[in-house]
């Protein structure tokens, strides 16, 4: 068990809808990362937060947004969903900087 | 951005065999991690190894940062070792994103 908790485990929704994925980092970790894993793109970095502030941005679509709350949990919001957004979404946390990342079990999103 | 190349892309072993997986990266890094993604999709931390050698049971890893590669050794493989092995690096001086290779897909047969 990595100590990173993601909910829900599975999500099935229709095109055009909006969903929210939730992540609780390991106790003591200040950084939260979001990654998307799809069959054709591999593991892609989306966005990172550190202690509530956005720190780095990757290949995150404008339809996607995230935030980190004062209790350090994070949410990833995906809107106007398309079939191509179907993927496994991972959250990871770390203490800070370049320290090791620990991944949650992911949320499998299916858009129909 | 930094390129992370893993080889081989696919590997089939018989139980009990040994193997070496390789990760080459195109630029200096601050951090290198190896992960195992099991058939259920979970990403398991294997090693945090920006340089040097580490061992954990039947697995060991070596990173030669000056030559920009890392090796993951699996000895006496078991069917539970099946899955995809990913190498991921934090490039020096370019933010805090862990960049993943495409992985090595390993199947261990009984």
Cβ pairs bridging A and B (under 8 Å): 50
Of A43, A88, A98, the CB nearest to B96: A98
Of A2, A48, A100, the CB nearest to B96: A48
pLDDT in tens, A43-54: 999 999 999 999
Which A-chain residues 85-104 have CB contacts (< 8 A) with chain B?
A: 88, 90, 92, 97-103
Q: How far is B52 from chain A (nearest CA, A)?
A: 16
Q: What is the pLDDT along chain A (112 residues), one digit of tens a residue?
A: 889 999 999 999 999 999 999 999 999 999 999 999 998 778 999 999 999 999 999 989 999 999 999 999 999 999 999 999 999 999 999 997 778 999 999 999 999 9
**Mean pLDDT, range B3-16, rounded to an integer:** 97
**A75-110 CB burial, b ≥16 within 10 A, e <16:** bbebeebeeebbbbbbbbbbeeebbbbbbbbbbbbe
Q: How far is B101 from chain A (nearest CA, A)?
A: 8
**What SS3 state is found at B71?**
strand
Q: Where are the beta strands (DSSP E) in A58-95?
A: 64-68, 74-78, 87-94
Of B42, B97, B102, the CB nearest to A42: B102
């Amino acid at each position: 068990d990595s100590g990173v908790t993601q909910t829900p485990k599975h999500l099935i929704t229709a095109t055009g809808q909006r969903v929210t994925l939730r992540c609780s980092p390991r106790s003591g970790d200040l950084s939260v990362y979001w990654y998307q894993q799809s069959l054709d793109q591999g593991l892609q970095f989306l966005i990172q937060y550190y202690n509530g502030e956005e720190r780095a941005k990757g290949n995150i679509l404008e339809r996607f947004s995230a935030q980190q709350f004062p209790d350090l949990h994070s949410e990833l919001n995906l809107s106007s969903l398309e079939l191509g957004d179907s993927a496994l979404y991972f959250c990871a946390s770390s203490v800070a900087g370049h320290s090791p990342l620990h991944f949650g079990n992911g949320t499998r999103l299916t858009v129909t | 951005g930094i390129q992370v190349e893993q080889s081989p892309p696919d590997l089939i072993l018989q139980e009990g065999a040994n193997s070496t997986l390789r990760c080459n990266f195109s630029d200096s890094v601050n951090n290198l991690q190896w992960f195992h993604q099991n058939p259920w999709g979970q990403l398991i931390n294997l090693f945090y190894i920006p340089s040097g050698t580490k061992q954990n049971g039947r697995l060991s890893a070596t990173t030669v940062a000056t030559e920009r590669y890392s090796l993951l050794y699996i000895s006496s493989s078991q069917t539970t070792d099946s899955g995809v092995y990913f190498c991921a690096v934090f490039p020096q001086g370019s933010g805090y994103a862990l960049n993943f290779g495409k992985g090595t897909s390993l199947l261990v047969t009984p």
